[in-house]
Structure 1
Amino acid sequence: MFTEMNAKLVAIIGELRKDIKYRVQLADYEQELARVEERIAELQSQFESEQDDVVKLERFSLANLLTTLAGTKEETLTKEKQEMIAAQHKLSEARKTKDDIDKEIGLLREKLENVESSKWEYQRLLKQKEEMIKESSLPFAGKLFELIEKEAELKSSLTELNEAIAAGRNVKRALEDALESLERAGAWGQFDLFGGGTISGMIKHQHIDAAEKNLYRAQGSMRKFQKELLDVKEEAYLDINISGMLKFADFFFDGFIVDYMVQSKITHSVEETRHQYRKVAEILTKLEKMQEDTFKRLDANQKEKREMVENV
């Protein structure tokens, strides 16, 4: 009877811990979604404004004619197009982030529905446990149930730590891939600075594209990592971006100054990626230590419970 109740309590307490975890994560996602939606509205307004500027410059008017006569139209139009493309790039990234968050919120709401019945089951088991303690002739029945509940809590903690560690390792892998792409882009960028041509520029931007994808993957992984860390009271942050405007300017308007700006951006992104990698590695070290300590406590708890039963 005690063995059966043990299994039920361990399972149900684990489910109740999930309910708390999912609600905390959902609240955090909803706050993040509100910030992203506000950001999208700002970027949409900025993009439309930049788009209007380009249209105005391309449309025939007295101001357009005067700008052309002054010989500055093409330069001004180029600048406005760069700003429009940069705004469009940022808007696209923000919308992708919103889609990711919407998806995670939907999944969490489904999970919460699935664990809702656990609350009723827990109340039923509590009553059953009280009756068993009253009816039991064993003097240590109450203590045994305390150990059973502690075992359930420790197992749940261990599960949460395992999930956080797995999420952190996903971030590390994405950052490693991004760092490799950025370093390759930087190497080709140096070559491009000192006499490279179209081919070197294209190769550099292939690596920049790969780095952007990996950094976006890292951001998504970091977002999930942050949510897992809410359970273990740790925090991490990642916000790395490569400017679409500078990439566009470098590719289509070749020149030392623009190339230098892109190279500086790559160098900064490499440094920032390394910094984030070190931060994630430090947090993972703490989590792995917590995992080890929790496992030892669980082992000790199970040993005490087992000895109590064996000595009856």
Structure 2
Amino acid sequence: MIENIESRLVELAGLLREAESLRGRHAELDRRHAELAAAVAELRQSWAGELRDVERLESVSLSRVLAALRGAYAEEMSREQAEADAARYRVAEGESRLAAIQAEREAVEARLTALADVPARFAAAIDDKERHLLGNGGPQVARLLALAEERGRAEAELRELHEAGMAADAALGALGELRRQLGLASSRQTTDNLLGGALSVARPSWLDGVGWAASNADRCLAMLHIELTDVGLAQPLGNVPRAIARPDGLQAVFFSNMLIREQLTRASRDADASLQLVAGVRRDVALRAEAVRTRWSALQSERHHLMTT
């Protein structure tokens, strides 16, 4: 009888902790969904503005006539189209991230629905425990059942810490790739300077790798933040740089390479700072997991002692 009650308490205590963590995760996902939805709405407005700029140049208008008179129509059209394409990419990227968050919200909601009866089942198990103690008595039995609850929570916490550690490893990998892409971009930008800007007549294609890596790192850091929230270790993880913007207008004429260099330098500094923060978080997770494993081992040892004496 006691073995059945004990195993139920271990299982249900773990499920109860899982439900508590999922409720916190759902609240965090709600917050991020609202923030990202607002950001995507702004990106759509920006894209619409870029499309209007393209349409303005394509139509028979004063803007087109003036551009043609300056002999800069093709260049301006190319730049406006590139900016519209970049805006469309940012919208698609934002919508993809929004859809991913929504999918995770739905998965969390489904799991919470499946766990909805856990509090009642846990309460019933506690009632069974009390009846058993009243019928059999003895501090040894009471301690065994208390240990079962503690073990269940410890095992659930270890699972959560494992997931947080995996998320930290993924974030470290993504930030490392971002740092590598920034290094490549910096080298190519230096070469571009030596060639007098021949490689960057338009927005340099080699900056696209930085944009992709930054987007991936941002997603990994967002997931890490959620996992850290689950285990009570949430903290700032730094600022991930966005895609490097190509200057336009007078800036493009006089300061293009200098401004790109400044963006690359700032992005590298931000990436390095995030790497240090995430590495520190990874150590914190490992230390916490080791402490929980030590506690779980102590619980197991005490249980073994009670069962064999």
Q: Is the 8 A contact 2:238 2:277 kept in 1?
A: no
Q: Is the 8 A contact 1:174 1:217 kept in 2?
A: yes
Residue 112 of structure 1: how far off its partner (Å): 1.5
Aligned to 1:182: 182
Gap runs ≥5 in structure 2: none
- Give yes or no for the alignment of 1:109 onto 2:116: no
Q: Is the 8 A contact 1:188 1:200 kept in 2?
A: no
Aligned to 1:307: 305
CA distance in 2, matches of 1:288, 1:102: 30
Aligned to 1:168: 168
- The alpha-carbon distance between structure 1 residues 62 and 218, as it changes in their structure 2 partners (threshold 3 A), is closer
Letter paired with 2:24: V
Q: Deviations over 1:25-75 (max 9, x none)?
A: 111111111111111212212221222123223322345435544666566
CA distance in 1, matches of 2:148, 2:12: 12
Aligned to 2:263: 265
Output aligned runs, 1:285-300, within 5 Å.
285-300=283-298
Q: Is the 8 A contact 1:54 1:80 kept in 2?
A: yes
**What SS is found at the alignment partner of 2:25?**
helix
Output aligned runs, 1:199-210, within 5 Å.
205-206=205-206, 208-210=207-209
Q: Deviations over 1:161-181 (max 9, x none)?
A: 122111111111111122122
Letter paired with 1:24: G
Q: How many residues align?
A: 305
Matched-pair identity in %: 22
Letter paired with 2:289: Q
- The alpha-carbon distance between structure 1 residues 21 and 124, as it changes in their structure 2 partners (threshold 3 A), is same
- The alpha-carbon distance between structure 1 residues 3 and 200, as it changes in their structure 2 partners (threshold 3 A), is farther
Letter paired with 1:9: L
Gap runs ≥5 in structure 1: none
Q: Is the 8 A contact 1:85 1:245 kept in 2?
A: no
CA distance in 1, matches of 2:187, 2:65: 44
Q: Is the 8 A contact 1:236 1:280 kept in 2?
A: no
Aligned to 1:157: 157
CA distance in 2, matches of 1:200, 1:36: 32
Output aligned runs, 1:118-267, within 5 Å.
118-195=118-195, 205-206=205-206, 208-233=207-232, 234-237=234-237, 239-243=239-243, 245-246=245-246, 257-267=255-265
Letter paired with 2:171: V
CA distance in 2, matches of 1:107, 1:27: 13
Residue 141 of structure 1: how far off its partner (Å): 2.1
Letter paired with 1:15: L
CA distance in 2, matches of 1:245, 1:85: 13
1:278 to 258, 276, 279: 276
CA distance in 2, matches of 1:280, 1:201: 37
Aligned to 1:14: 14
Q: Which stretch has the larger CA shift, 271-280 or 153-162?
A: 153-162
- The alpha-carbon distance between structure 1 residues 82 and 260, as it changes in their structure 2 partners (threshold 3 A), is farther
Residue 136 of structure 1: how far off its partner (Å): 1.3
Aligned to 2:95: 95
Letter paired with 1:224: M
Residue 154 of structure 1: how far off its partner (Å): 1.9
- Give yes or no for the alignment of 1:37 onto 2:24: no
CA distance in 2, matches of 1:197, 1:272: 26
Aligned to 1:5: 5
Residue 182 of structure 1: how far off its partner (Å): 1.9
**What SS is found at the alignment partner of 2:246?**
helix
Q: Deviations over 1:235-285 (max 9, x none)?
A: 2435434436529x7xxxx97843333333222222211111110001111
- The alpha-carbon distance between structure 1 residues 272 and 244, as it changes in their structure 2 partners (threshold 3 A), is closer
Q: Is the 8 A contact 1:222 1:236 kept in 2?
A: no
Q: Which stretch has the larger CA shift, 280-289 or 4-13?
A: 4-13
Letter paired with 2:267: S
CA distance in 2, matches of 1:184, 1:64: 38
Q: Is the 8 A contact 1:89 1:244 kept in 2?
A: no
Normalised by the size of structure 2, how large is the TM-score?
0.86
